[in-house]
Amino acid sequence: MLEDILHQVANGELSPEEAKEKLATFENLGFAKVDHHRKKRQGFPEVIFGEGKSASQIIDISRAMMNKQENILITRVSEEKATAICEEIPSFEYDQISRTLVRRYQEKLEYQLDGYIAIVCAGTSDLSVAEEAAKTAEAFGVEVRRFYDVGVAGIHRLFAHIDEIRDATVSVVIAGMEGALPSVVGGLVSHPIIAVPTSIGYGANFQGLSALLTMLNSCASGISVVNIDNGFGGAYNAILIHRLANKRT
């Protein structure tokens, strides 16, 4: 890319100012430095964490990314902020369950890699975290198959889908309460498991801490654990594994 830009400057196709803009690693907005080279370093563009940011800040960051023709994913966005953002940038799609905003540079969603990630969710109360994971993977061009409400309280529901789960490249397994589901799935499949504890549960659940400790102490091999309610982080790790698996096929 560097040589192409230098050749364009030498041939008069690009001004030095335009070349400088193309070579800039980030854009300073004052309140934020937008990392335009994230995709070159890591394969995926920067993701905007919406919680704690104002709607106007998110709009400015989004517009800076739109100028680079990137898909945009924003996580943890309240409905009130999403409404204000969509009024300014109508091309965003808001999902109320996952609290995500997605804007695709290409209108049609095309899966860029073969195979799929399984999103396995224990209960309906965990759906917001599960959908954050699913929307993250889909925003990055990865096919997702959802297996919801298959927790250990009715384990037969999981067995009804186990063959399809086994065929996934990697599974993101989400559970609250005692957090046992990743251990069960881990003993039934031959691919990596990313376990996501949720804050759903009664008092002794300690807002997800008991589920987190259960997952960290799992006796099933091949399980990695992310932070409480971190559907985005679980999906991101799964996407990296999925991408590596595609390189080997």
- CA–CA distance, 180 with 158 (Å, rounded to integer): 13
The per-residue pLDDT for 167 is: 94
- Give the CATH fold of the 117-247 domain: Rossmann fold (3.40.50)
CATH 3.40.50.1970 residue ranges for the chain:
117-247
- At 87-113, the pLDDT tens digits run 998 989 999 999 999 987 655 555 667
The pLDDT of residue 106 is 58
What per-residue confidence (pLDDT) applies to 243? 87
Q: Who's near 90: CB < 8 A, 6+ residues apart?
A: none
CA distances from 15 to 8, 9, 18, 111, 230 (A): 8, 6, 5, 36, 44
In contact, 140 and 240? CB cutoff 8 Å: no
Low-confidence ranges of the chain (pLDDT < 70): 1-31, 33, 35-40, 43, 69, 105-112, 248-249
Tokens at 232, concatenated: 């985005």
